Chains A and B, each alone.
Chain A
Amino acid sequence: MNQTESECLLLLNDPRKRSQAFSQLVRLYQERIYWHIRKMVLVHEDTNDVMQNTFMKAWNGLDGFRGESQFLTWLYRIATNETLTFLTSKRNKEQAQTDDRDLFLANNLHADPYFNGDELQLKLQKAILTLPEKQRLVFNMKYFDDLTYDSMEEILGTSTGALKASYHHAVKKIEKYFEENE
């Protein structure tokens, strides 16, 4: 826990300074939470919606934060739940077939002004979308955010062993996708 976070957490207990402290915490962690969500939902506008829900849920549920974990870990957990809920509702709206998983999410990535990736990076995003939801989370958190397995265990509530196996399977599936879609 860094000094700014611990100072903000102390101020959260003071009703007069609570919103000021929360505002500081938003500024401190918004980028990490944004990229965590964005790599799952891909589109900026959707990410923005899920971010709003995440931080407002955190604000309304501040009394539920008991300081047993880091504030960022707690935020990650809320963001993960919100993201999975969003994806479920989006899937229902799109009536996506189970065999193409969430590939529909990549449909507009080519034309997205906020995607600057090259062909291979686009192919990687499509490959990631073929993974089951939880495996996708694990892959993104490890490959892009380089989170430790311990942190991931706290956020996802899955054992380190299972996370390592999940990451290993994800890499294998992605390489197989590359091989089949060259």
Chain B
Amino acid sequence: MKEKKHISLADVKRDNPFTVPENYFGQFAAGIDGQIAVRRTPIFSLPKRWLYVAASVACLLAISRAGYITYQNDKAMNTENYELYVMSQVDETEVIDYYLSEQDSKSK
């Protein structure tokens, strides 16, 4: 009886068993062209180092401006609070008395 022969790698056809849709590669390349056209590098492009410097300066300016505005607001608030404090310390009747006595002295 003939012994059954085992399959070996050499028995398998070595050609590519896979295929692609018709004109796939032409369409793929055109698709990539379309995508890179959208994200095209601008003709005028600054070196990266200068972009980092510009970003840092812009960041510093923004922080300084925010700090200055906060300082101005605090200052205005303090002045307003001081005026309110002074007013709260003065008695209304005393102000009226003072006003009337001033009027009296003028009429004399």
Sort chain A's interface into a size bin: 35 or more
A5 CB → nearest B CB, Å: 16
A91 within 8 A of B: no
CA distance A75 to B80 in the complex (A): 68
B18 touches A38 (CB 8 A): yes
Interface locus among B35-43, B54-62, B82-90, B95-103? B35-43
| Nearest neighbor of B6 in chain A, beta-carbon distance | A179
Sort chain B's interface into a size bin: 20 to 34
Which parts of A39-82 form the interface with B (CB within 8 Å)?
A: 39, 42, 44, 48, 51-52, 55-56, 59-60
Given A23-B36, A56-B35, A114-B19, A34:B25 Cβ within 8 A:
yes
B7 within 8 A of A: yes
Interface locus among A14-22, A92-100, A129-137, A153-161? A14-22
Interface of chain B: mostly helix, strand, loop or mixed:
loop
B25 CB → nearest A CB, Å: 6
Q: Find chain A residues with CB under 8 A from B50 CB.
A: none
Which parts of A114-135 form the interface with B (CB within 8 Å)?
A: 114-118, 120-125
A35 within 8 A of B: yes
Neighbour of B13 across the interface among A27, A44, A59, A118, CB < 8 A: A118
Leading 10 A-B pairs by shortest Cβ distance: A117-B17, A121-B17, A178-B7, A120-B12, A114-B19, A124-B12, A19-B36, A27-B29, A15-B41, A26-B32
